[in-house]
């Protein structure tokens, strides 16, 4: 089954304790698409400015990601993000951001994509996510992401959007902020009452937690020791997870769990390089190998 993703496409400059890079490809839709393409066909929808060099999409084309839904908007500039990670690199510090084209009207979902059954709405204004969700007339699964900015300042719009999606992926700080509940299992249950059928709470190096009406699942992170740059980890996790769901055509609890385990593993590659380098070159066999290791190191006998 093919999977449609809407999200940001950006030019990133990142500094970590392991080095720095300038003007490299980034953005939630890019990381998500590359990860999902390990499992299924991907249609990427987003918007870049006229400054964007379209050859930067070559690694996506190599993975047969359909980028015909990306608009290169004349007179606009591409989204740029400058970030820094320190210490354990658990949180990015935004040094500079230029929303540019992301502050204008959102991307258009091409008419021929609107019957896609699997949809991921990467983090953006919840009203734009709701508009995307309403355009998808044949959806079997819509998963969205969000962030602290919308939880704090656009709560009403976010709550409306949550009624339209089947799954929510967000990090632990966001889950606590959204629900005013510090216990993550309780926060997850509170989010289920807002609409989604399942919620996945990401905890970085501490893995992730699935909460659905069918129960809980705690997925460990794959413990890579080669942590170069965590940028894109969360979107990569979501990409592998939702990509796997689309590939299976099933949405039950057991399949969600399998998807999350794959998300953990694929995200562990992203962290091992700057930008999309490691993600774009990872082979399915490498993912399968780490998945076996993850099972081995987490199995309780």
Using CB under 8 A, list all residues that contact a copy of itself: 87-89, 176, 182-186, 203, 205-207, 209, 215-220, 223, 225, 227, 254, 257-258, 261, 291, 294-301
Closer to a copy of itself by Cβ: residue 154 or 172: 172
* Least distance to a copy of itself, CB of residue 213, Å: 14
Query: What length does the chain have?
Result: 301
Nearer to a copy of itself, 222 or 274 (CB): 222
Quote the CA–CA distance of 138 and 50 in Å, as a whole number. 33
Asked whether the beta carbons of 272 and 224 are under 8 A apart, the reply is: yes
Nearer to a copy of itself, 44 or 201 (CB): 201
Q: N- to C-terminal Cα distance for the chain?
A: 36
CB of residue 206 vs a copy of itself: minimum separation in angstroms? 4
Least distance (Å) between residue 173 CB and a copy of itself: 10
Q: Which is nearer to a copy of itself, 28 or 179 (CB)?
A: 179
Report the alpha-carbon distance of residue 279 to residue 27 in Å, rounded: 13
CB of 255 to a copy of itself, least distance (A): 10
The least CB distance from residue 22 to a copy of itself, in Å, is 24
Nearer to a copy of itself, 73 or 202 (CB): 202
CB atoms within 10 A of CB 224: 16
Least Cβ distance, residue 182 to a copy of itself (angstroms): 4
Give the single-character DSSP code of 197.
S
Cα dihedral 11, 14, 19, 20 in deg (nearest 10) = 50
Chain CA centroid to CA 40, Å: 15
Question: What is the C-alpha to C-alpha distance for residues 92 and 15, in angstroms, rounded to an integer?
Answer: 10
Phi, psi of 135 (to 5 degrees): -75, -20
Q: Which residue lies nearer to a copy of itself by CB, 17 or 249?
A: 17
């Amino acid at each position: 089954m093919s999977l449609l993703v809407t999200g940001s496409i950006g030019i990133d400059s990142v500094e970590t304790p392991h080095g720095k890079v300038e003007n490299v490809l980034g953005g939630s839709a890019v990381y998500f698409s590359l990860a999902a393409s390990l499992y299924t066909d991907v249609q990427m929808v987003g918007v870049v400015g006229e400054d964007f060099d379209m050859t930067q999409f070559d690694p996506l084309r190599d993975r047969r990601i359909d980028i015909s839904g990306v608009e290169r908007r004349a007179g606009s500039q591409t989204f740029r993000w400058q970030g820094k990670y320190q210490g354990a690199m658990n949180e990015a510090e935004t040094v500079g951001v230029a929303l540019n084209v992301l502050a204008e009207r959102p991307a258009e979902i091409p008419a021929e994509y609107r019957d896609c059954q699997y949809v991921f709405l990467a983090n953006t204004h919840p009203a734009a996510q709701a508009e995307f969700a309403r355009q998808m007339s044949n959806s079997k699964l819509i998963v969205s992401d969000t962030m602290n900015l919308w939880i704090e300042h656009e709560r009403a719009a976010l709550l409306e959007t949550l009624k339209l999606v089947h799954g929510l992926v967000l990090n632990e700080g966001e889950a606590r902020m959204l629900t005013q509940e510090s216990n993550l299992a309780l926060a997850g249950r509170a989010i289920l009452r807002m609409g989604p059928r399942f919620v996945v709470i990401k905890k970085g190096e501490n893995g992730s937690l699935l909460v659905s009406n069918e129960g809980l699942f705690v997925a460990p992170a794959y413990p890579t020791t080669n942590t170069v740059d965590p940028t894109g980890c969360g979107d990569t996790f979501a990409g592998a997870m939702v990509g796997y769901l689309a590939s299976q055509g099933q949405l039950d609890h057991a399949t969600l769990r399998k998807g999350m385990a794959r998300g953990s593993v694929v995200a562990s590659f992203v962290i091992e390089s700057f930008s999309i380098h490691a993600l774009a070159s990872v082979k399915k066999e490498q993912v399968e190998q780490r998945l076996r290791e993850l099972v081995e190191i987490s199995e309780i006998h």
